[in-house]
C-alpha cells in the first residue's frame, strides 16, 4: 500500500525540509542518500503514516459501491510513500546501522504495526474487498488486475479479516509483539557478533596462515588500533582461519564463539526465540491453523507441511549415506597425521587439505584469479550475453555508504531497466551474510508512469588491504553469482503492481533465479573470460578450470545434509503446537542428532543467529533453498542441451520466469518455461549422487 505526499510536501516549511519527504532531485527519483540523516526517518515516517491513515479512511468511508478501482486499486496505492520510506530505512538498518537507527526502528514498530492492523483487520474495508471479489467473474479484468484482486482478498483472509472483533484486537497485539521481538533478535545477533574478537600478538600462532589471511587480520587490528592480528566472527575472517590454521586450540576457540553466538550471555536470544515461536503459534491458532507452518505454507509451491517434511525426509534418506562417506573420508585423511575424533573445528582444515590432495586445488591457488572487480564485471557480462543488459557506473547517484557503488542498468535498446547498488565489504554496522533487496520495486504510478526498480546486492567479502585488492574464494564467487541472480529477477521485472513484480513470489520459488545463475561460474567457456591473475593478468590455467569443474561436487553429500538440517530445524520450530520447556540447545540437539555426521559440541546452537527464520522472511521456508535447487538443476539442463548462451532459451527464461513476478502461480510459470513439471531426481544427478 502506498501514499501520495504531494499535499504534505506543499505544507512543509523551509525549517521542516526532509529529504525523505521532498521529491527527489536525484536521477530516476532515486533515494537522496547524500542528504538523508538518521534524524530524518522518524519525522518522515510520522508524516507519511498520518497521510496513509487518511488514504485508508477515504476508501473505508467511500459511499459509492465497491469497485475494482475505488477499492482494490485504491488500497494498492494507499500508504505508498510510507512504504518507500520504510524500504529505505529498514534496508539501511541491515547494511549500515547505528544505535539511533535501531532506536527509531524499535520505537516506530508499534505505530507501524498498529497501522498495518488497522488496515488488515478493518471489517468495513474487508467487506468492500469481499464485495469486489464476489463479482470478479463479471469484471473482465486483465491477468494482472485479476491477480491483484485475488492476492488482496486472500491476504485479508490470511491476516485475520474474518476474526471477531475481540480476536482482531488480540491478533493486532500479537503482531506488534512479534515485530518487536524479531527486531530485538536481529539486534542481539549483530551485537553478539561484534562483541567478539580473537586478538593474537604472537606471530608463531599465525605463521602457517596464507598471506591473504594474515594481511586481512593485520588490517583489522590496525583499524582497531591494536598490535598484531585480529580475527572476528565475520565470515571472511573466521572461515579462512578455520580452513588454514593448524592451531587447534585457537580454532576451537573461534568455532565455539561462532556457534554459541547469542546463546546466553549479554546478547542472549533464547527468550526472543521462545517468544517469537509462541507468538507465531498464537497467531496461527487465532486464524484456525494448528501451526505456523500450516499458515505460511498455504500460498507456497509446496502448499503444506506434509509435503515439505516428506521432501526433506526423502532427500535426507537419499543423501545421508553419501554424507557419512564424505566425513569418513576426511576423518581417515586426518588420522594419517592426527589420531582421535574429528571435531567440527578440524573439518574445514582437513577437508581443504584433502581437496588439495585429490584435485591439486585450493582457495589459496584460486584467489589470485578472482579479483572482485573482475568477478563483478563477469556477472555484468553474463547478464549482457543472456539478456542484453548494460551496466554503466553512475557516480552522480549517491549510495548510503562510501563503499556503495551505483550502476545505471539499460537493455539492448537503451531502455533504462534499473539502478543497481553494490555493497561488498563487511563492517561493524552491517549484519553478516549476503543478500539482495530493493529500495523500490517495479511498478506503475496511479497516473500511469512507469517506475523502474532500485536493486541492491549486499555481501561481506574480504576487504582490500595495503598490498592486495579484494580477492575472492571460489565459494564467494558463486555467492556473488547467486545474489546477482536475485538482482536479475528484480531488474528484469515487468508489471503494474509492486506486490506482484520481481522477487515478490512464493518463497520456495524465489531462489530459482539465484541458484540457476550460479551454474555459469562452473562453465569453462565462461570462466576463461574473466578469471585472470590480479598481478600478471594471465588467464587462469586450463588445468585449474578442469579441477574446479572436477571438484565441484566434493563433499556434496555432507553439504546437502547440512542444508537439509537447517531446513529440519526451521520446520521443527514452526510445526510446534506449544513452546518446548527444554533449552534452545537441547531442542536443537534433539533435531540434529539423527543426522549428525560430525560430533555435536555442547554449548553450541545455530538457532540464536538463524536470522533467516527469526528475523527474516524464511520461517517455515528454509527448505526452499533445496526445493529451488531441484528446479534450477532441472531448468539448467535445458541450457546445457541447447548451449549455455542460447538466446532462445535465455529469452524464454526471462519471459516466463524473470519478468513475470507473481502474475501466476509458480508451478504454472515453471511449466511455461520448461514445458513440463520439474524432474525431482535432477538435483541428485547434478550433485553426482545418483547416475542417470
| Residues tagged active-site | 483
CA-wise closest residue to 620 among 299, 316, 188: 299
C-alpha distances in angstroms, 635 versus 358, 479, 629, 649, 674? 30, 19, 10, 10, 7
C-alpha to C-alpha distance for 75 and 485, rounded to whole angstroms: 31
CB atoms within 10 A of CB 523: 17
E runs forming strands in 425-469: 435-440, 443-444, 450-451, 454-458
CA-wise closest residue to 584 among 242, 253, 265: 265
CA-wise closest residue to 474 among 319, 243, 197: 243
First to last CA, the chain: 49
C-alpha distances in angstroms, 639 versus 282, 352, 647, 681, 683? 46, 31, 10, 17, 15
Question: Across the strands, what pairs with 410?
Answer: 390, 416
CA-wise closest residue to 157 among 302, 58, 298: 298
C-alpha to C-alpha distance for 498 and 625, rounded to whole angstroms: 24
Cross-sheet strand order for the sheet of 405-410: 390-393, 405-410, 416-423, 454-458, 435-440
Q: Answer yes or no: are the C-beta atoms of 650 and 386 closer than 8 Å.
A: yes
C-alpha to C-alpha distance for 632 and 395, rounded to whole angstroms: 35
Main-chain dihedrals φ then ψ at residue 138, nearest 5 degrees: -105, 5
Q: For residue 601, what is the DSSP state?
A: P
Main-chain dihedrals φ then ψ at residue 37, nearest 5 degrees: -120, 160
Residues 6+ apart with CB under 8 A from 400: 31, 33, 36, 92, 95, 96, 421
C-alpha to C-alpha distance for 259 and 607, rounded to whole angstroms: 9
Helix (H, G, I), strand (E, B) or coil at 233: coil
C-alpha to C-alpha distance for 208 and 229, rounded to whole angstroms: 14
C-alpha to C-alpha distance for 212 and 371, rounded to whole angstroms: 13
- How many secondary structure helices (H) and strands (E) does the chain include? 28, 9
Helix (H, G, I), strand (E, B) or coil at 21: coil
Cell numbers standing for residue 13:
516549511
CB-based burial label for 156 (10 Å; 0-12, 13-18, 19+): buried
Q: Cα dihedral angle (61, 66, 72, 75), rounded to 10 degrees?
A: 0
What angle (nearest 5°) sits at the alpha carbon of residue 493, between those of residues 490 and 495? 140
CA-wise closest residue to 372 among 465, 234, 458, 469: 469
Amino acid at each position: 500500500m502506498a501514499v501520495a505526499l504531494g499535499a504534505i510536501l506543499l505544507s512543509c516549511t523551509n525549517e521542516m525540509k526532509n529529504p525523505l519527504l521532498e521529491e527527489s532531485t536525484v536521477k530516476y527519483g532515486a533515494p537522496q542518500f547524500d542528504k538523508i540523516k538518521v534524524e530524518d526517518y522518524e519525522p518522515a515516517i510520522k508524516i507519511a503514516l498520518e497521510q496513509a491513515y487518511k488514504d485508508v479512511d477515504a476508501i473505508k468511508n467511500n459511499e459509492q459501491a465497491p469497485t475494482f478501482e475505488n477499492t482494490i486499486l485504491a488500497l494498492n496505492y494507499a500508504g505508498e510513500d510510507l512504504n518507500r520510506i520504510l524500504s529505505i530505512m529498514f534496508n539501511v538498518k541491515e547494511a549500515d546501522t547505528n544505535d539511533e537507527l535501531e532506536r527509531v526502528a524499535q520505537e516506530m514498530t508499534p505505530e507501524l504495526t498498529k497501522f498495518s492492523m488497522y488496515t488488515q483487520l478493518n471489517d468495513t474495508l474487508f467487506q468492500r474487498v469481499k464485495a469486489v471479489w464476489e463479482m470478479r467473474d463479471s469484471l473482465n479484468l486483465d491477468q494482472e488486475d485479476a491477480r491483484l484482486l485475488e492476492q488482496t482478498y486472500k491476504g485479508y483472509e490470511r491476516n485475520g479479516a474474518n476474526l471477531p472483533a475481540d480476536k482482531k484486537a488480540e491478533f493486532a497485539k500479537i503482531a506488534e509483539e512479534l515485530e518487536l521481538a524479531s527486531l530485538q533478535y536481529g539486534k542481539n545477533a549483530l551485537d553478539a557478533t561484534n562483541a567478539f574478537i580473537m586478538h593474537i600478538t604472537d606471530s608463531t600462532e599465525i605463521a602457517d596462515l596464507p598471506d591473504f589471511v594474515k594481511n586481512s587480520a593485520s588490517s583489522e587490528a590496525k583499524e582497531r588500533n591494536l598490535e598484531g592480528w585480529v580475527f572476528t566472527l565475520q565470515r571472511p575472517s573466521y572461515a579462512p582461519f578455520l580452513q588454514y590454521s593448524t592451531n587447534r586450540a585457537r580454532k576451537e576457540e573461534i568455532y565455539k564463539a561462532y556457534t554459541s553466538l547469542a546463546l546466553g550471555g549479554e546478547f542472549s536470544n533464547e527468550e526472543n526465540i521462545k517468544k517469537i515461536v509462541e507468538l507465531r503459534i498464537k497467531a496461527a491458532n487465532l486464524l484456525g491453523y494448528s501451526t505456523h507452518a500450516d499458515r505460511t505454507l498455504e500460498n507456497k509451491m509446496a502448499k503444506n507441511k506434509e509435503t515439505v517434511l516428506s521432501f526433506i525426509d526423502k532427500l535426507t534418506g537419499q543423501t545421508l549415506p553419501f554424507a557419512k562417506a564424505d566425513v569418513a573420508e576426511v576423518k581417515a585423511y586426518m588420522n594419517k597425521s592426527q589420531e582421535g575424533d574429528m571435531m567440527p573445528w578440524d573439518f574445514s582444515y582437513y577437508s581443504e587439505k584433502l581437496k588439495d590432495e585429490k584435485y591439486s586445488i585450493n582457495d589459496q591457488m584460486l584467489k589470485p584469479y578472482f579479483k572482485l572487480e573482475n568477478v563483478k564485471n563477469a556477472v555484468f557480462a553474463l547478464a549482457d550475453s543472456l539478456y542484453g543488459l548494460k551496466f554503466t557506473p553512475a557516480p552522480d547517484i549517491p549510495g548510503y555508504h562510501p563503499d556503495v557503488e551505483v550502476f545505471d542498468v539499460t537493455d539492448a535498446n537503451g531502455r533504462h531497466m534499473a539502478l543497481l547498488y553494490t555493497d561488498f565489504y563487511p563492517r561493524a554496522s552491517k549484519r553478516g551474510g549476503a543478500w539482495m533487496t530493493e529500495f523500490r520495486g517495479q511498478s506503475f504510478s496511479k497516473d500511469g508512469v512507469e517506475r523502474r526498480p532500485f536493486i541492491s546486492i549486499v555481501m561481506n567479502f574480504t576487504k582490500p588491504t595495503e598490498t592486495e585488492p579484494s580477492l575472492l574464494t571460489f565459494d564467494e564467487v558463486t555467492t556473488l553469482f547467486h545474489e546477482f541472480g536475485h538482482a536479475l529477477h528484480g531488474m528484469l521485472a515487468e508489471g503494474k503492481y509492486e506486490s506482484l513484480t520481481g522477487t515478490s513470489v512464493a518463497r520456495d520459488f524465489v531462489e530459482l533465479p539465484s541458484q540457476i545463475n550460479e551454474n555459469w561460474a562452473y562453465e569453462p567457456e565462461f570462466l576463461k573470460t574473466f578469471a585472470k591473475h590480479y598481478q600478471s593478468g594471465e588467464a587462469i590455467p586450463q588445468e585449474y578450470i578442469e579441477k574446479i569443474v572436477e571438484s565441484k561436487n566434493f563433499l556434496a553429500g555432507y553439504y546437502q545434509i547440512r542444508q537439509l538440517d537447517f531446513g529440519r530445524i526451521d520446520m521443527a520450530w514452526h510445526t510446534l503446537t506449544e513452546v518446548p520447556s527444554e533449552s534452545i540447545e537441547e531442542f536443537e540437539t534433539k533435531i540434529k542428532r539423527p543426522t549428525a555426521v560430525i560430533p555435536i559440541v555442547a554449548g553450541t546452537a545455530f538457532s540464536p543467529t538463524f536470522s533467516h527464520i527469526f528475523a527474516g522472511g524464511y520461517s517455515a521456508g528454509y527448505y526452499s533453498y533445496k526445493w529451488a535447487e531441484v528446479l534450477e538443476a532441472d531448468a539448467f539442463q535445458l541450457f546445457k542441451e541447447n548451449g549455455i548462451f542460447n538466446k532462445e532459451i535465455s529469452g524464454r527464461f526471462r519471459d516466463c520466469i524473470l519478468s513475470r513476478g507473481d502474475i501466476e502461480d509458480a508451478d504454472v510459470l515453471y511449466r511455461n518455461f520448461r514445458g513440463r513439471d520439474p524432474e525431482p531426481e535432477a538435483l541428485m544427478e547434478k550433485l553426482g549422487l545418483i547416475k542417470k
